[in-house]
Amino acid sequence: MERRVVITGIGAVTPIGIGIDEYFKALKIGKSGIGPITSFDTEGFPSKIAGEVKNFEPSDYFEPKEAKRMDRYCQFALASAKMAYKDSGIDLEKINRKKAGVILGVGMGGLNTYESQMAVYNEKGPRRVTPFLVPMMISNLSAGTIGLEFGLKGPNYVVTAACASSTHAIGEAFLKIKNNMCDICFTGGSESTITPLTVAGFGSMKALSTRNEEYNIASSPFDVKRDGFVIAEGGGVLILEELQHAIDRGAKIYGEMVGYGLSDDAYHMTQPHPDAEGATSCIQMAIDMANIKPEQIDYINAHGTSTPFNDRLETKAIKNVFGDYAKKIAISSTKSMTGHLLGGAGAIEAIACCMVLNEGIIPPTINYQDVDPECDLNYTPNKFIEKNVNFTLSNSFGFGGQNSSIIFKKYENK
């Protein structure tokens, strides 16, 4: 009998809210989390804006000693996991911990630690570098820390696929449960790369928005004036669970995961394929796995980064797959509000899809003011809409041509 996979717990740390209630309320009203960077002096930087997480107090989630031994990206991951665990109602004493795993997506890892300790090394020498440098810096310790926290002894690893990292991680967790390697899996991802070196690097690539004086509208996916993405930080964790396992313990169910697609453009280091071949095949693979018709997709949470190439070619991929129906689908880029969490983006966007299924609310694409003739679909401009949604699709596309799409379905016990 085919194993079905459902979502039974959610936790999120985002630039527009901490916790699922605060996060989705902000999405609904079109709240922007973009502002001037406060974590370092941006004098001389072309881009001076970001989606920083506000009001995150590590002491709300960890002992001070524990917090000091985790990079910020790892703190976001573990805090999100603790929220998801509480939300799920799982009794750890009643599960098989050898079939409980952790698979997270992280694009760049502990860059806050790397940059700060590099400064220590340069100023004070090698003996003053913290002995916690390596475990704080390496990305797999986000998954490892969650495994340690909850005593989970199943598969435990991190997927690194640039901006597709978290969506790949969720897809891999889905397959682990379907293939009977896990009954439960904590999945999602996190990122915290609002650092001088990272912002300088993306700035040198001219990938970031430089609308510093009008930061509230700087993240403007699909708008003709878009000029680059706005870097952001945060994380999200979803608990995926085998359906009968969830039913047996009386879990609440946010939705069912039914499809996963992945591909590579094999075209360019940073630009998507001009015919959107990889994104097209990725979306189609997810639909095929879900065993549905394209016309059954009600909502797409677009990758929608607010970069000229990405938004145009994602639009093309959607048209390639859906044909005339593409204009009827409700689409939004929640990055217009959160900014781009890089490896953590897919996690909070998957959470948004789950909440859309439950709330019947399509969040808007804010800052959509001037139509780009090459981006001519229904991007839910500026105001949420109410709609009964049965299937949602979430896209994530990353540097290296790495593409990932996942599909969630409204849960029905049949």
Q: Does one domain contain both 267 and 244?
A: no
pLDDT of the residue at 282:
97
β-strand partners of 234 = 191
Q: Does one domain contain both 74 and 201?
A: yes
The CATH number of the domain holding residue 296 is 3.40.47.10
| CA angle in degrees (0–180, nearest 5) for 95-97-100 | 95
Rounded Cα gap, residues 241 and 356, in angstroms: 20
Is the pLDDT score of 413 beyond 80?
no
Rounded Cα gap, residues 316 and 338, in angstroms: 24
- Kindly report the backbone phi and psi dihedral angles of residue 223, in degrees, each rounded to the nearest multiple of 5, phi listed first: -80, 145
pLDDT bin (cut points 50, 70, 90) of residue 334 is very high
Rounded Cα gap, residues 165 and 316, in angstroms: 22
Q: Does one domain contain both 121 and 180?
A: yes
Q: Does one domain contain both 241 and 290?
A: no
Give the residue numbers marked as catalytic.
163, 303, 340
Domain region containing 315: 260-409
In a domain, 128, yes or no: yes
Q: Does one domain contain both 138 and 284?
A: no
Domain boundary among 248, 271, 298: 248
Please list, in sequence order, all residues whose beta carbon lies within 8 angstroms of the beta carbon of residue 63, skipping any fewer than 6 positions away: none
Relative to beta strand 299-301, strand 234-242 is unpaired
Which residue reads 């070619």 in tokens? 313
Q: Does one domain contain both 242 and 266?
A: no
Check: CB of residue 256 under 8 Å from CB of residue 4. Answer: yes
Is the pLDDT score of 331 beyond 80?
yes
Q: Does one domain contain both 71 and 164?
A: yes
Strands (E), 338-390: 361-362, 385-386
From residue 339, how far is each of 333, 344, 384 by CA, in Å?
10, 11, 18
Q: Tens digit of pLDDT for each residue in 186-201?
A: 999 999 999 999 999 9
Q: Does one domain contain both 71 and 212?
A: yes
Is the pLDDT score of 409 beyond 70?
yes
User: Which range, of 44-48, 98-102, 336-340, 400-404, averages the lowest pLDDT?
Assistant: 400-404
Buried b (16+ CB within 10 A) or exposed e, 125-162: eeeeeeeebebbbbbbbbbbbbbebbebebbbbbbbbb
Q: Report pTM.
A: 0.97
Question: Which H or E element spans position 391?
Answer: strand 391-398
* Mean pLDDT of all residues belonging to the chain: 96
Is the pLDDT score of 414 beyond 80?
no
Q: Does one domain contain both 161 and 308?
A: no
In a domain, 255, yes or no: no
Q: Does one domain contain both 243 and 266?
A: no
User: Which range, of 83-97, 106-120, 262-276, 288-302, averages the lowest pLDDT?
Assistant: 262-276
In a domain, 131, yes or no: yes
Check: CB of residue 289 under 8 Å from CB of residue 258. Answer: yes
Question: Which H or E element spans position 236?
Answer: strand 234-242
In a domain, 254, yes or no: no
In a domain, 414, yes or no: no
In a domain, 330, yes or no: yes
* Domain count of the fold of the chain: 2
